[in-house]
């Protein structure tokens, strides 16, 4: 029996480099894990190394500054892996790592601002400041958006891309050109996240309204058996802007009369669920867009 086998292509140069780098990083992670080094210590070491890069940038020594950033990046990579290997993954660790990363980013840009101020290149001081603003708002818009929607990862220029651009600018000694790219793309990323969040919230709001209107129509006959009276002001505010405003408000008012409790709860998305409380049907509506109490 003849077995046909296709010859495997030899790995590319980039593949060999990647595999070699992975082996080196695995060795470093294994060593640090065996020494039981705390991941937060590694995070702090990375920031301290970036302080040296800031000093080099402030002196205009861009090439060495870029190499120091590259070295600091090793600690930024291994701290999370060491945390997983030593079973020290915590929510605080993720928070701490994110905060220290922001410090490192701002320190590097501060070094560039100091350098351009020394040589009286005021325009590039302002340009670097614009990059700094974009870097801060890129992180802030995502954090703020994800308190309202499940995820906001749109946009091209996040932290890894910014670090790579700084390294390229330092190694090639073309930092001014890199700053132009970072200033445009970082603030463009902010605008993308603002637009995405607005669109997601608007879609969520209309979905909730459509659901509530459909629910009010379906249960209208059942609600009529509870007896009617004028809907309260909270219900009128809830129903404002819907296509079937009064049926929903009337339903809500009648459910209230049947000892239904409506709780005000801040959540990212509205949700509707039914529960039994001492034999009384309770309707709990949680929504960021509809607050009625």
The catalytically annotated residue of 76, 79, 97, 101 is 101
Question: b/e per residue, 181-211, with b = 16+ CB within 10 A?
Answer: bbbebbbebbebbeebbeebbeebbeebbee
- Residue intervals of the chain classified under CATH 1.20.120.1760 are 21-202
For residue 129 the two structure tokens come to 């400041």
**Exposure pattern of 97-115 as b/e (b: 16+ CB <10 Å)?**
beebbeebbebbbbbbbbb
What residues does 282 pair with on adjacent strands? 275
pLDDT given for residue 258 in this prediction: 47
Place of tokens 């937060």: 40
What pLDDT is stored for residue 292 in this prediction?
36
Phi–psi pair at 37, nearest 5 degrees: -70, 135
Q: Which of 49, 70, 88, 87 is nearest to 171 (CA)?
A: 70
Q: 3-state secondary structure string, the chain?
A: CCCCCCCCCCCCHHHHHHHHHHHHHHHHHHHHHHCCCCHHHHHHHHHHHHHHHHHHHHCCCHHHHHHHHHHHHHHHHHHHHHHHHCCCCCHHHHHHHHHHHHHHHHHHHHHHHHHHHHCCCHHHHHHHHHHHHHHHHHHHHHHHHCCCCCCCCCCCCCHHHHHHHHHHHHHHCCHHHHHHHHHHHHHHHHHHHHHHHHHHHHHHHHHHHHHHHHHHHHCHHHHHCCCCCCCCHHHHHHHCCCCCHHHHHHHHHHHHHCCCCCCCCCCCCCEEEEEEECCEEEEEEECCCCCCC
Residue range 121-171, pLDDT digits in tens: 999 999 999 999 999 999 999 999 988 888 888 888 888 999 999 999 999
Exposed e or buried b for every residue in 271-286, given b needs 16+ CB within 10 A? eeeeeeeeeeebbebb
Q: Which CATH architecture has domain 21-202?
A: Up-down Bundle (1.20)
Task: Provide, rounded to the nearest whole percent, the portion of the chain with pLDDT above 90.
Answer: 44
Any idea which residue has 């990046």 for tokens?
73
Taking 60 as the threshold, does the pLDDT of residue 218 lie above it?
no
pLDDT in tens, 72-102: 999 988 998 899 988 889 999 999 999 999 9
Name the nearest CA neighbour of 162 among 180, 186, 144: 186
Share of the chain above pLDDT 70, in %: 63
**pLDDT at position 263, please?**
36
What pLDDT band is residue 251 in, cutting at 50, 70 and 90?
low
Residue 4's pLDDT is: 54
| Number of Cα atoms under 13 Å in the Cβ half of residue 52 | 13
Known catalytic membership, residue 173: no
Q: What is the mean pLDDT of residues 208-215?
A: 63
Q: Are 195 and 149 in contact, with CB atoms under 8 Å apart?
A: no
Q: Which residue has better confidence, 153 or 267?
A: 153
Our CA angle for 253, 259, 265, nearest 5°, is 75
Mean pLDDT (the chain) is: 76
Please state, in angstroms and rounded to a whole number, the distance separating the CA atoms of residues 254 and 226. 6
Of 276 and 40, which is predicted with more confidence? Answer: 40
Residue 116: both structure tokens together: 């351009």
Question: Residue 275: pLDDT band by 50, 70, 90 thresholds?
Answer: very low
């Amino acid at each position: 029996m003849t077995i046909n086998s296709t010859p495997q292509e030899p790995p590319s140069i980039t593949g060999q480099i990647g595999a070699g780098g992975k082996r080196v990083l695995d060795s470093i992670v294994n060593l640090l894990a065996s020494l039981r080094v705390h991941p937060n210590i590694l995070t702090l070491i990375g920031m301290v190394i970036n302080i040296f890069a800031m000093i080099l940038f402030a002196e205009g020594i861009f090439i060495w500054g870029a190499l120091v950033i590259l070295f600091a990046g090793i600690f930024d990579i291994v701290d999370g892996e060491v945390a997983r290997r030593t079973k020290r993954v915590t929510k605080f660790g993720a928070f701490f790592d994110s905060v220290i990363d922001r410090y490192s980013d701002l320190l590097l840009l501060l070094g560039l601002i100091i350098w351009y101020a020394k040589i009286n290149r005021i325009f590039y001081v302002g340009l670097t400041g614009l990059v700094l603003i974009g870097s801060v708002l890129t992180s802030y818009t995502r954090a703020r958006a994800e308190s309202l929607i499940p995820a906001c990862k749109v946009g091209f220029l996040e932290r890894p891309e910014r670090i790579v651009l700084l390294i390229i600018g330092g190694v090639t000694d073309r930092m001014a050109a890199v700053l132009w790219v970072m200033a445009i793309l970082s603030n463009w990323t902010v605008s993308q996240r603002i637009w995405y969040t607005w669109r997601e919230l608007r879609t969520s709001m209309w979905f909730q309204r459509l659901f509530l209107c459909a629910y009010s129509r379906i249960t209208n006959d059942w609600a009529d058996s509870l007896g009617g009276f004028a809907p309260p002001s909270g219900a009128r505010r809830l129903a404002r802007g819907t296509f079937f405003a009064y049926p929903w408000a009337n339903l809500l008012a009648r459910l209230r009369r049947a000892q239904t409790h409506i709780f005000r709860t801040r959540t990212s998305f509205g949700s509707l669920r039914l529960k039994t409380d001492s034999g009384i049907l309770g309707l709990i509506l949680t929504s960021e867009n509809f607050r009625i109490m």
